Structure 1
Amino acid sequence: MNALMILTLILFGLMVAIGGMKGLRSFIALFINFFVILLMTLMMIDQNANPVYLALAACVVISAVTLFFINESNVKTKTAFLATVLTTLLLVIFIQFMVEFVMVGGFSDEEVEGLTIYNFYVGINFVQVMASVVMMSTIGAVVDEAISISSPMYEIHRHHPDMSVKELFDSGMRIGRDLLGTSANTLFFAFFGGYLALLVRFKDFSYSFGQMLNAKVFSAEMVTILAAGIGVALIVPVTSILTAYILVRQQHKNKESTR
């Protein structure tokens, strides 16, 4: 038994012991989402495939698995899923434009050193591939933020069913503002935690601060962080307005049906 298997068993045990059945579903969802990403990657090898469309489809599937498989189908997960899909659609065009503008598609100088024996003319649009990478890096934070807003809004509405759409929307925005700062910090420090070795390598290469900022590999990661931050910011008003409207509308329908 190797270290990966031991860590997997520890994770499984903790998730089941602490989360119960929901923890078990969360553990299974990790592997389902992993195979979705793996399938998307294999399909990208086809030269006729559009990586952006594949990533968009994968984001929808991952959102559905994360929300409905783990938390089951209810008003909270439905509104969070709808908000996630709408926010992702808004981000698609922006992300592709940003990747082309910053020119971070393809391999950087630091990455090609060990790949010089390979042919890079593989017939794949690396700008679209990079846009797909940014999308896949964004979806996790967006889904997490969406359910973190819709769930407390549902509880607020359940205890105060007479709230108007505007009052419930304002409550959702206040919740989102509290989450926004911590989510942005999580994304930022996740980059430095994952790329600490890269920063050390920049130091070994005697890169100046300007050279580090202009390095393609650094710029690509910064684009990913900023796109994820924009997605986390956009999901707050989108989830708030959708959840407020759907909950209040459902309340009105329930009142009419009891008359």
Structure 2
Amino acid sequence: MTHSHSHGTPESGPPRRVLATFLALIVATIAVATAIGMVALWPDATTPKGQNPYGAKNVSILSATVKGVVPFDCGSGGEGPDGLPMVAGDCAKVTASTKAGAATFTLDAARFKAGIESGDRIKVIRLRPPGQAASYEFYDFQRGLPLALLALAFGVVVVVVARWRGLFAILGIGVTLFALTEFMLPAFLAGEDPLAVAVVGSTAIMLVVLYLAHGVSIRTTSALFGTLCGLGLTAALGVAATGWTSLTGIGSEDDQTLLAVAPGMDIGGVVAATMIVAGLGVLNDVTVTQASAVWELRALQPSASARETFGSAMRIGRDHIASSVYTLVFAYAGSAMTILLLVNAYQRGLAEIATTEQVGEEIVRTLVGAIGLVLAVPITTAFAVIMAPKGTPTDDAEPEVEPTGPGSHREPSADTRSLQ
């Protein structure tokens, strides 16, 4: 009978405390090494910055409200002067009100066909050379309020459903954005080693986000170790695949402009670095799920051997691998949808478009991310099986450390609470 193991067995308390202390030292070492890496790679004040085309003297961007739209025939017949296809149809003369007065400008056929009408809130570029009257150009629609409301709705839903864990997950998003905008992107532009920047930055993000969202526990640490192994594998594969497939990082005019602004940047290395960052979210999801699966399996079958627990967890992991690989493919296909539509409209073969720089880069990024993700599953499962408590659900009392705060009360079952 599994209940024959009583509360006071010698294996129950001290071994888990020793393990927790040992793991804490390892995590602390990783954190210190990551901090040293960030200091060494942190970009200085010489980070290249391009000239803002809308920040020049006598150029400004104003908020405006559309007052009138009048279509007219502008001779857009479907073919440009260079023989390339262009949108056919009418252009439009638009009148809008701004804080500087009335603004009148012309929309080309493509923008007019995309849709604009009276009452729309837009932004316009105001050009006023010395001694000349101001002229205006369409810049974009105002999206600040809708985006803010969507972000607010997202935050409310996450917090209401996931409560304190949801709140800390949102804080994790803030940490991620800070690491990207204040460290990784400037370091790329400054010419630092892109792979080192991506690995150090991603490790820092995971160290904070995992413990912030899932609490400080041995279970979370097993997920962290699996995630870091997945990051390392993805980094190695990314470098090898980028060189092997001759990805240069210069697949569009924007890439060329970026290289002109930051000539010291290793843009080919940035391609490999993006493979690490792009798969970070799905990789984290898989490792956390696998660690949780092992803990739950141990709670349900405390007498199962390590081999049996590993096998059961891997059966769960295989299902998760399949869905996660689809997630990667769909995400990258969605981001490259415009390119795919254009290529399909030109009726070019799949084999031909797959080898182009733009599409090939997405394919390599998907495959490298998927391989790293798949390999992280058995690695994380092995870590979790080694670290998960053994014995009956009442033996290894090691409650998970949950984020605390008002409203953080939770009601786990009596059988699983002690195995977290």
Q: Does 1:153 align with 2:297?
A: no
What residue is the counterpart of 2:224 in the other structure? 81
The amino acid across from 1:181 in the alignment is A
Cα separation, 1, equivalents of 2:279 and 2:256: 28
1:198-237 Cα offsets, whole Å, 9 max, x none, are 1122235554433311110100001111111111210111
Q: Does 1:223 align with 2:223?
A: no
Instruction: Give ranges in structure 2 of 5+ residues lacking alignment.
Output: 1-143, 397-420
Q: 1:235 aligns with which of 360, 376, 389?
A: 376
Q: 2:280 aligns with which of 127, 132, 139?
A: 139
Q: Describe the SS at the equivalent of 1:30.
A: helix
1:19-45 Cα offsets, whole Å, 9 max, x none, are 111111111211211111112111222
Instruction: Give ranges in structure 1 of 5+ residues lacking alignment.
Output: none
CA change 1:31–1:158 in 2 (3 A) is: same
Report the structure, 1 or 2, having the larger helix content.
1
1:88-143 Cα offsets, whole Å, 9 max, x none, are 212322210101111123211xx117956972770222221111001111221111
CA change 1:66–1:113 in 2 (3 A) is: closer
Identity of aligned residues (%): 21
What residue is the counterpart of 1:40 in the other structure? 184
Q: Describe the SS at the equivalent of 2:279.
A: helix
Q: Does 1:59 align with 2:202?
A: yes
Q: 2:319 aligns with which of 163, 173, 178?
A: 178
Q: Residues 166-205 of structure 1: matches in 2 within 5 Å?
A: 166-205=307-346
Maintained 8 Å contact 2:172/2:213: yes
The alpha carbon displacement at 1:84 in A equals 0.9
Maintained 8 Å contact 1:105/1:129: no
CA change 1:121–1:76 in 2 (3 A) is: closer
Maintained 8 Å contact 2:222/2:291: yes
Cα separation, 1, equivalents of 2:264 and 2:197: 17
Q: Does 1:128 align with 2:269?
A: yes
Q: 1:96 aligns with which of 239, 243, 249?
A: 239
Maintained 8 Å contact 2:193/2:269: yes
Cα separation, 1, equivalents of 2:161 and 2:389: 34
Cα separation, 2, equivalents of 1:140 and 1:113: 26
CA change 1:160–1:44 in 2 (3 A) is: same
User: TM (normalized to structure 1)?
Assistant: 0.88
Q: 1:3 aligns with which of 146, 167, 173?
A: 146
Q: Residues 1-40 of structure 1: matches in 2 within 5 Å?
A: 2-38=145-181, 39-40=183-184
The amino acid across from 1:40 in the alignment is M
Cα separation, 1, equivalents of 2:375 and 2:173: 25
Cα separation, 1, equivalents of 2:329 and 2:368: 11
User: TM (normalized to structure 2)?
Assistant: 0.56
Maintained 8 Å contact 2:259/2:267: no
What residue is the counterpart of 2:109 in the other structure? none
Cα separation, 1, equivalents of 2:312 and 2:383: 13
1:35-81 Cα offsets, whole Å, 9 max, x none, are 1111211122223x211011001111222233100011112210000
Report the structure, 1 or 2, having the larger strand content.
2
Larger radius of gyration: 2
Count residues in correspondence.
Answer: 250
The alpha carbon displacement at 1:2 in A equals 1.6
The amino acid across from 1:122 in the alignment is P
What residue is the counterpart of 2:86 in the other structure? none
